[in-house]
Amino acid sequence: MTTIDFRTEPSRYRHWKLEFHGPVAHLIMDVNADAGLFEGYELKLNSYDLGVDIELSDAIQRLRFEHPEVRAVVMRSGKDNVFCAGANIRMLGRASHAHKVNFCKFTNETRNTIEDATQNSRQFYLCAVNGAAAGGGYELAVACDYIMLIDDRRSSVALPETPLLAVLPGTGGLTRVTDKRKVRRDLADVFCSVEEGVRGKRAVEWRLVDEVVPPSQWNDRVAARAAEFAATSDRPADAKGVALPRIERAEDGDSIRYSAVTVELDRNTRRATITVAGPDAPVPASLDATKSAEFWPLRWARELDDAILHLRANEPELGLIVFKTQGAAEAVLAYDAFLEAHAADWFIREVRLYLKRLFKRIDVTSRSLIALIEPGSCFAGTLAELAFAADRSLMFEGPLAGDNRKPAEITLSPMNFGPYPMGNDLTRLQARFWGEPQTVESAHGQIGQSLDADASNALGLVTASFDETDWEDEIRILTEERASFSPDALTGMEANLRFVGPETMETRIFGRLTAWQNWIFQRPNAVGAEGALKRYGSGVQPEYDRVRV
């Protein structure tokens, strides 16, 4: 199996180009048809695969950290007469089921990052559609804050997956059309049922785009609109960006080692153990001294993000992720206090937002998540979010014989009560104690207190605690039991239990749409030998099982 590497940088891009014009950047999609992630298909018409999206995700991240002066981003095509034909159909037809679903999930996360940039980083995304934007191409456009469509009688927007491919728009198209664009339900039904899509004034009338522009005014109008959005941003015009060098990791058999994150792989028990190391240096003396990729919260977040993506794509049979931490809780809390004190600074804001997105990625990862809170760990503040994201958390009671490290503790900080919401807009503690606001208040009253096993149990912060006599046996029983269950059943169970309370556009995209996309991608009508994905472009009509189920 080809190892998929999520690490890239602009000099390695094969599909995207960046241009900078003062406060406005142009993110140009110019897909190299011969540079697919795998062999056997061509990325024609600016269609994309996971490799294209890996570059896009990297570019969005760099625009936020490396270019604080950029206040608006224009996404456009580098090809004539086509914006983007969406996910490559040949790739989808050949890919394994697991790859298709992971691809859709990562693409969803990338689209959400675009929206997060607009909403929270004040870096506004506009999409200039010059040519056909079909399927995932329109989903890319609709993730942007504002859509402009050239009125040349050829350019259009479309979601043709149902009539053409017997699948659904897999990266939020249906949900964003109705919930974000507020397209009327019956018109959305028409839109999603026609292959040719919608163009011109009708696209504006149906709210599928915001503006149509004559060809003679196209370049000037796009530039003017981008300048208008840029003028509303609070991003600093004269700040120096923070370079994001390639993440370094060492792979040695069954271990992956970064500077602050270690991953140990145990294929016999189908388990990956991830250990995050606490700070190895004190908080920098000044705000300016933090502005580096070596700033501890940013460094470990980038490394853990890469580790999670690596496990998703390359280790599909490791169904259990165990989180551990190691270090001094006081040092973690000092960094939390710094993140709180300087929340208004553009760089600190980006670090906090990146941590939020990292925890959200963990929330929607289809693996069982277990946190082990042991002597010498530092599940404090921001790092405690790993324990609160876990499906279960076990805590060691008392000291460990012959070990002079501090007994296991949890320490809460203000960062556990707002900055890192889940996709349902609740904190992980609010989700944990859904229906018990008084319990959240009790936990809030313990901010800064070192909570041992008894106190953590009393507050409901852990699932269970065990002393030295039972610790190893209880972990073994839990992990062996988990490994014996059906992975499909676990994925469904965990995804349902992790997200309680209010439904948002984000939870609908991940919870509802990806669940149905997962199911539809297994149906013969789509992927069978006579299914639409297999027969697309052959001139032979697909054969459908006509039973509604």
Q: Give me the tens of pLDDT residue by residue for the chain, a chain 549 residues long.
A: 679 999 999 999 999 999 999 999 999 999 999 999 999 999 999 999 999 999 999 999 999 999 999 999 999 999 999 999 999 999 988 899 889 889 999 999 999 999 999 999 999 999 999 999 999 999 999 999 999 999 998 999 999 999 998 888 878 889 999 999 999 999 999 999 999 999 999 999 999 999 999 999 999 999 999 999 999 999 999 999 999 999 999 999 899 999 999 999 999 999 999 999 999 999 999 999 999 999 999 999 999 999 999 999 999 999 999 999 999 999 999 999 999 999 999 999 999 999 999 999 999 999 999 999 999 999 999 999 999 999 999 999 998 888 888 999 999 999 999 999 999 999 999 999 999 999 999 999 999 999 999 999 999 999 999 999 999 999 999 999 999 999 989 988 998 899 999 999 999 888 766 667 777 888 889 888 898 888 888 889 999 989 887
- Residues shown for the chain: 549
pTM of the complete model: 0.96
Task: Report the alpha-carbon angle 204-209-215, nearest 5.
Answer: 80
Residue type, 474: E
Last residue of some domain: 478, 497, 516? Answer: 497
Amino acid at 27: L
Question: What is the structure's pLDDT at 1?
Answer: 62
Q: Is residue 219 part of a domain?
A: yes
What are the C-alpha distances in Å from 107 to residues 40, 43, 136, 280, 485? 21, 16, 9, 34, 28
**Which tokens sit at 205?**
């009338």
Longest Cα–Cα distance in the chain: 79
Q: Is residue 502 part of a domain?
A: no
Give yes or no: residues 291 and 226 share one domain. no
Task: Indicate whether 538 belongs to any domain.
Answer: no
Residue closest to 98 by CA, chosen among 543, 534, 491: 491
Note whether 62 and 166 are same-domain residues: yes
Sheet hosting strand 410-411, strand order edge to edge:
379-380, 410-411, 450-451
In a domain, 328, yes or no: yes
- Within 8 A by CB and 6+ apart from 524, the residues are 530, 531, 545
Q: CA-based angle 187:193:199, to the nearest 5? A: 65
Phi-psi group of 512: left, alpha or beta (phi > 0 → left; psi -120 to 50 → alpha; rest → beta): alpha
Domain that residue 121 falls in:
10-230
- Torsion angle of alpha carbons 531, 536, 540, 542, nearest 10°? 20
Residue 115's nearest CA partner among 107, 125, 106, 129 is 125
Asked if residue 341 and residue 392 are part of one domain, the reply reads: yes
- Same structural domain for residues 224 and 257? no
Residue 350 falls within a domain, yes or no?
Answer: yes
Boundary-marking domain end, from 196, 230, 264: 230
Are 303 and 375 contained in the same domain? yes
Residues 265 and 203 reside in one and the same domain: no
- 266 and 122 in a common domain: no
Same domain, 189 and 332: no
Pairwise CA distance, residues 120 & 35, whole Å: 34
Does residue 542 sit within a domain? no
Contact predicate 11/58, CB 8 Å: no
Domain count, the chain: 2
Specify burial of residue 264 (Cβ count, 10 A radius: 0-12, 13-18, 19+).
Answer: middle
Region label for 255, one of left (φ > 0), alpha (ψ between -120 and 50) or beta (otherwise):
beta
Instruction: Give domain status of residue 546, yes or no.
Output: no
| 321 and 413 fall within a common domain | yes
Task: Locate all alpha helices (DSSP H) within 10-147, ordered by sequence.
Answer: 50-66, 89-94, 97-120, 136-142
26-56 in b/e form (b: 16+ CB < 10 A) is bbbbebeeeebbeeebebebbbbbbbbbbbb
260 in Cβ contact with 277 (< 8 Å): yes
Helix residue spans in 231-383 (DSSP H): 287-290, 296-314, 329-341, 346-363
The DSSP 8-state label assigned to residue 513 in this structure reads: I
pLDDT of residue 244: 98
CATH of the domain at 445: 3.90.226.10
* DSSP string covering 193-239: T-SS-B-HHHHHHTTSSSEEE-GGGHHHHHHHHHHHHHTT----SSP
The answer to whether 182 and 176 are in contact (CB under 8 A) is no
Check residue 502 and give its pLDDT: 92
540 domain residue, yes or no: no
Tokens of 19: 């241009």
Residues 452 and 317 in one domain: yes
151 and 201 co-located in one domain = yes
Q: Which of 64, 71, 65 is nearest to 24 (CA)?
A: 71
| Residue 508 neighbours by CB distance under 10 Å | 18
**Whether residues 16 and 93 fall in one domain:** yes
pLDDT at 514: 66
